[in-house]
A = this chain, B = another copy of it.
Amino acid sequence: MVALREMIDKAIENYLYEKEPETLYRAVKHLPSAGGKRLRPIIACLACEAVGGNVMDALPFGVALEIIHTFTLVHDDIMDRDEERRGKPSVHALFGDATAILAGDALFAKAFEIASYTRDDHVAKTILRNLAIMSKEICEGQQMDIAYAESDSIDEQQFMEVITKKTAKMFEHAAAGGALIGGGSEEQQEALREYGRNLGIAFQIWDDCLDVIGEDIGKPVGSDIREGKKTLLYLHAYTHADDREWLKCYGNPEASDEDIRKVIHLFEKVGSVAYAKEKAQGMAAAAKERLAAVPDGEAKDILMEMADFAVKREK
């Protein structure tokens, strides 16, 4: 796992070889070189290996996913006016909006170039098309997220649609694409697709829980509350809490630490935290079940562990 991650880090560095214009490429490399868990390429490579393929064959595709992920972060930070990312200034905070828009675009372009280095022509074409459709869906998810931010509440189906498009689809494509590259059967590709989707949903819901229960993940605890993010915890509390006082703090950037503590306390009291945790854990369990379709081995073991990690991690 460590070796795989190092290989991915190295591949990202190698693929992003451009240097000029200097400002543009400093902006392009700012986030990819800041690290990150590299979950998407790891899943792509492991899914490839799990069905009997060579891990190296999935590397261009995996790196492309990571770069697309990065591109969405760069543009989302502009839209959300987030000045920090992974404990560092965001790209637009450092380079201005124009260069940040361009850096995102250049990352997006690079991702398609990189994915095109997938060896088999037919597989490459399929994967490029899937990456394009996935990227479009991420945009749709972000647009829905922006629209929902302005409404008081959304239902769970709307919530699931947003996190599926914004997050889970990438995990889904990572696993299914890895399986396709590795020569997995259609049944295996489908099973890994569902593994990825469930894992992605589990991962995102747990991420929202961490904002309430977790350690510092590069943003202070309670930031979702101050931003008014429509998390599963919010949705649950919105329909289960009789007291409406907390809604005044939710989405208030000026909310005090004391206010935040009160909202968190309410989330715990009405069972919203437990509800979200259970949902995430259920999704992780469902992801693991789907791995029955692939043969036992190290790759499968790590994919199992990743599902556990998704809902146990503290950052």
Which A residues are closer than 8 A to B by beta carbons? 18, 20-21, 23-24, 75, 78-79, 97-99, 101-106, 108-113, 116-117, 121-122, 124-125, 128-129, 131-133, 135-136, 139-140, 142-144, 146-147
Contact = CB atoms under 8 A, between A and B. Distances in A.
Given A112-B128, A124-B125, A79 B105 contact: no
B146 A109 contact: no
Contacts of A129: 112-113, 116-117
Copies in the complex: 2
B78 A101 contact: yes
Given A21-B140, A140-B20, A128 B116 contact: yes
Contact of A139 (B78, B97, B105): B105
A143 B109 contact: no
A31 to B, nearest CB: 16
Nearest to A98: B79
A132 B111 CA distance: 8
Contacts of A112: 112, 128-129, 131-132, 135
Given A79-B102, A110-B136, 19 more contacts: A21-B143, A21-B147, A23-B147, A75-B105, A98-B146, A102-B139, A102-B142, A103-B139, A105-B108, A105-B135, A106-B139, A109-B132, A109-B135, A109-B136, A109-B139, A112-B135, A116-B132, A121-B122, A125-B125
